[in-house]
């Protein structure tokens, strides 16, 4: 009885996870957002400070997109007063919601934002089905 | 730490309009003998959309960021696209007229030279 109340209190203080399973894992880097239209998926990532030529983008198995690169630390010596930016190598693979054409992938790096355009394969594109109006053979006379 | 560029606020972000929702950019600040250099991550920001104001010992960084992919359907998102805003209190004497800033690949670099009076000086010792 008392133990239950204690856990209830702890849940209230620390959230339902309590002490057992706090999610301490850092968020995946780089952060991604995905948009789509009828023909393509657009995977975008905010990755400032990279060199465009060093960014690796690859698609395997039709729906596995991997983005990898390395960010070099801002140059110069001195005393650090703030250090919040992330540096170093990273690689992230995501599963795309639909199959894409691996031969028609475009990647663009502009103002620290990477945009990967992936064309959907024909079979997954939405298709409008024409509905035929059937004229009854025998109209009620 | 003989820190000089102190954070005006990290948690609480003061904005020109209290209702305006903004992101505080991540920054690095490095101090050398003759300057303070600030690096701020501003992904998606164009050069003409950055405003830096130095007023009353405060350096205010504001960058407007327009939404991208308008008209497409958002499937998944790990970040939002909003303006960036952050203010820093500059307690060290800097030459505000000589602050230089540049933006490259979404990283803003601001170099504020220290005023002559506060730079460390090496005094030559004369042998007798």
> How many structural domains does chain B have?
1
B36 in a structural domain: yes
Domain span including residue B37: 27-68+78-113
Residue B87, in any domain of the structure: yes
For B42, nearest residue in chain A (alpha carbons):
A48
Predicted-complex ipTM score: 0.76
- pLDDT surpasses 60 at B78: yes
| Residue A134's pLDDT band (cuts 50, 70, 90) | confident
Positive/negative CA dihedral, B90, B94, B98, B101: negative
Q: Which residues of B touch A51 (CB under 8 A)?
A: 105
Question: For testing the chain B interface, which of A35, A48, A87, A98 should be mutated: the one with the most B CBs within 10 Å?
Answer: A48
- Asked if residue B85 belongs to a domain, the reply is yes
> Which CATH number is B52's domain given?
2.60.40.790
Question: Is residue B12 a part of any domain in this protein?
Answer: no
pLDDT at site A138: 74
> Quick check: is B38 in a domain?
yes
Q: What is the per-residue pLDDT for B127?
A: 83
Residue of B76, B86, B100 to mutate for A, most A C-beta atoms under 10 A: B76
Please tell me if residue A25 touches chain B, with a CB cutoff of 8 Å: no
Domain presence at residue B50: yes
Average pLDDT over residues A18-31: 68
- Answer whether residue B98 is part of any domain: yes
pLDDT at A13: 62
Q: Where are the alpha helices (DSSP H) in A74-132?
A: none
Cα–Cα separations (whole angstroms), residue B65 to A52, A135, A136, B23, B32: 21, 56, 59, 10, 31
Handedness of CA B5, B6, B10, B13 (dihedral sign): negative
Percentage of chain B lying above the pLDDT 90 cut: 53
Answer whether residue B88 is part of any domain.
Answer: yes
């Amino acid at each position: 009885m008392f133990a239950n109340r204690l856990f209830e209190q702890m849940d209230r203080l620390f959230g339902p996870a309590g002490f057992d399973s706090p999610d301490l894992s850092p968020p995946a880097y780089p952060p991604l957002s995905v948009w789509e239209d009828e023909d393509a998926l657009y995977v975008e990532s905010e990755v400032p400070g990279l060199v465009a030529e060093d960014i690796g983008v690859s698609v395997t198995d039709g729906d596995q997109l991997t983005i990898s690169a390395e960010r070099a630390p801002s140059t110069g010596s001195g005393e650090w007063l703030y250090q919040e930016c992330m540096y170093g190598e990273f690689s992230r693979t995501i599963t795309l919601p639909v199959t894409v054409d691996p031969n028609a992938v475009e990647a663009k790096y502009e103002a620290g934002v990477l945009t990967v355009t992936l064309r959907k394969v024909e079979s997954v594109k939405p298709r409008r089905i024409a509905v035929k109006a059937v004229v009854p053979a025998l109209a009620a006379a | 730490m003989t820190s000089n560029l102190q954070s005006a606020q990290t948690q609480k972000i003061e904005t020109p309009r209290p209702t305006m929702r903004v992101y505080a950019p991540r920054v690095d600040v490095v101090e050398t003998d003759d300057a303070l250099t600030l690096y701020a991550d501003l992904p998606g920001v164009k050069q003409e959309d950055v405003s830096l104001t130095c007023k009353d010992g405060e350096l205010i960084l504001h960058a407007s960021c327009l939404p991208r992919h308008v008209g497409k359907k958002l499937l998944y998102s790990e970040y939002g696209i909003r303006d960036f805003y952050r203010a820093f209190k500059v307690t060290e004497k800097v030459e505000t007229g000589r602050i230089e800033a540049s933006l490259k690949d979404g990283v803003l670099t601001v170099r504020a030279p220290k005023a002559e009076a506060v730079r460390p000086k090496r005094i030559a010792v004369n042998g007798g």
